[in-house]
Amino acid sequence: MTALRLHIGNKRYSSWSLRAWLVLRKAGLDFQENLVPLGRPETRRQLAEISPGGTVPALQAGDAVFWDSLAIAEWAAEQQPELWPAHEIQRARARAAVSAMHAGFTALRRQCPMDLGRTPKAVALTPDIRADIAAIQALWNDVGSMDGPWLFGRWSIADAFFTPVAARFHTYDIPLHAGAQDYCDTLLGDEDYAVWHADALKESWPDPLAAAH
């Protein structure tokens, strides 16, 4: 196997890095981490040297570099196909769910950024955020499987993509329907997520969004 190196942002704040990291962990792939603190004067230069997209996560696989969380997930699935559901219909639905998360729910992502060190506390929710929360819960209800605790029964890339959403729902104390809350509890109770979360709480870098203003 080609040596793998995953470049990530702050574990406390970088939701897209978390997604790629979870996928590689669940794939059982051996990789090194390189954390690039975000929002610092040297960050842009460091990212330009690492990633053609100038963003994290970025995965180095030998001489190749993939700089998007979904591209990294799809590459990992080429190595470990079980990262997607086995049944073709479920696999297509899982890809649709992941695509929805990858491209959408911008109000929630923008106004409730991931902060794993935040003490859970409710905030005022705009109509756009409420619409995103309702749409996410509806999506989970529509595609959720009865064959196991994860969205499609057993763990899949879809669960990696929604783990930061569950973290947001927790830290912003957002009330959910019972089924959605159970799913969030499953995501946040995952042993690999617990490793990431513990590392996030050890970080001392400032919020990159605050540093940018």
Tell me: the pLDDT tens digits for 74-91? 999 999 999 999 999 999
Q: Residue 101 belongs to what H/E stretch?
A: helix 88-103
pLDDT score, position 145 = 87
Average pLDDT across the chain, whole number: 94
Alpha helix stretches (DSSP H) within 7-79: 15-27, 43-50, 69-79
What confidence tier does 157 reach under pLDDT thresholds 50, 70, 90? very high
What are 92's two structure tokens?
Answer: 């297509």
Give tens-digit pLDDT for 163-210. Answer: 999 999 999 999 999 999 999 999 999 999 999 999 999 998 777 765
Q: Is the pLDDT of residue 105 over 80?
A: yes
pLDDT at site 213? 30
Note the pLDDT of residue 204: 86
Give every CB contact of residue 79 below 8 A, 6+ residues apart in sequence. Answer: 27, 29
160 close to 22: Cβ distance less than 8 angstroms? yes
> For residue 73, what pLDDT is reported?
98
pTM: 0.95
pLDDT of residue 10: 96
Omega before 164 cis (within 30°)?
no
Beta bridge partner(s), residue 33 = 6
